[in-house]
Structure 1
Amino acid sequence: MRSYPVDSPHAAGRILALTMIVDGNLVGSELAALSRSKILDHIDLDHADFQHLLKDLCEDLLTSTSHGAIQVDNALIDSVLEEIVHPDLRRSLLHAMWSIADADGWLADAEAVLLTRASNAWAAETNFSSPSYRRP
């Protein structure tokens, strides 16, 4: 799997691409959700570059097949998530990831795993809660 500089447009774009294909099914409603979210503008990535990232991700995943099946395991998900460290970027990406995953009206198991891992890893490290929140 390729690696990208931390918090780079390519690292962020790959997470969005993974959200689209992690369930093995890229549908038009997910692409529409990506467009509506304006996240590509936020991360400074144009649609052509995103398409290239999507292609590269698919190629990377195809090189690591197991018995003819693509495996997106927790270690792979975690390594991709680790390339994003800025709290605001994490929040923006997580919001867009939810929109993409929910676009087809069905949250597949693989999407749920990706979203859960992102929520847990990023919230734990960036304190998603508001600064005024105090634990009882």
Structure 2
Amino acid sequence: MQVYAVNSPEAVSRMLALTMIVDGHISPLEVRTMHAATFLEPLAVDDETFDRTLRQLCEDLLGAANRHAGMVELDPVQIDALLRDITDPLLQICLWKTMVDIVHADGHLDGRETTLVRRAAKAWFGQDASAATVPAASPVAALA
């Protein structure tokens, strides 16, 4: 996996991109939801940074991840390593809320999305992943 500085625009973009592709496709509603997140602009997470990071993430996943039944699987250890790239508590809160909004954006909650959001909650907030629930997102206007 590409190495990014902790709390960098690329580290944030990678978590957003992973949230969008973890279910196997990117919905336009998910992208719009990401754009509605006001905390991204001051962090310099712009379209160019996000697109570049998304492309790199896809290349990394296709090159290094396990492939099973035509799907790319990301090792939980790798997910945890990516989550450790976000250490600022306020950034964790803002990013987690946006991740939850993204997984709810298309109206379909996939188990892989739930798993990712729960792992983030456990990594960032110490919440037991088995007891965590994914709250309803606030209303906001493929990788195989």
Q: Which residue number corresponds to residue 13 of structure 1?
A: 13
**Displacement of 1:42 after TM fit?**
3.8
Determine the C-alpha separation between the residues in 1 that align with 2:16 and 2:89. Answer: 16
For 2:26, what is the secondary structure of its paired residue? coil
Paired residue total: 125
Q: CA deviation digits over 1:58-116, x for unaligned, max 9?
A: 11000024255311221111010001111001001001101111100111111001000
Match of 1:73 in 2: 75
Look up the SS of the partner of 1:6 in the other structure. Answer: coil
Secondary structure in 1 matching 2:40:
helix
How far did residue 43 of structure 1 move?
2.3
Contact kept? 1:40, 1:47, Cα under 8 Å: no
Note the alpha carbon deviations across 1:18-61, whole angstroms, 9 max, x for none. Answer: 00001111111100111112343142211111111111101100
Cα separation, 1, equivalents of 2:87 and 2:32? 27
Matched ranges for 1:57-136 at <5 A: 57-64=57-64, 65-67=66-68, 68-124=70-126
Measure the CA separation in 1 of the matches of 2:19 and 2:75.
Answer: 13
Which residues of structure 1 form unaligned runs of 5+?
Answer: 126-136
TM-score where L is the length of structure 1: 0.86
Aligned to 1:132: none
Paired residues of 2:9 and 2:49 also in contact (CA < 8 A)? no
Q: Aligned partners of 1:93 and 1:71: how far apart in 2?
A: 23
- C-alpha separation in 1, matches of 2:3 and 2:36: 27
Query: Once superposed, which parts of structure 1, at least 4 consecutive aligned residues long, lie more than 3 Å away?
Result: none
Task: Quote the residue 1:133 is aligned against.
Answer: none
- Over the aligned positions, Cα root-mean-square deviation in angstroms equals 1.5
Tell me the equivalent position of 2:31: 31
Task: Note the residue ranges of structure 2 that are not aligned, 5 or more in a row.
Answer: 128-144
Equivalence for 1:130: none
Give percent identity, aligned residues only. Answer: 39
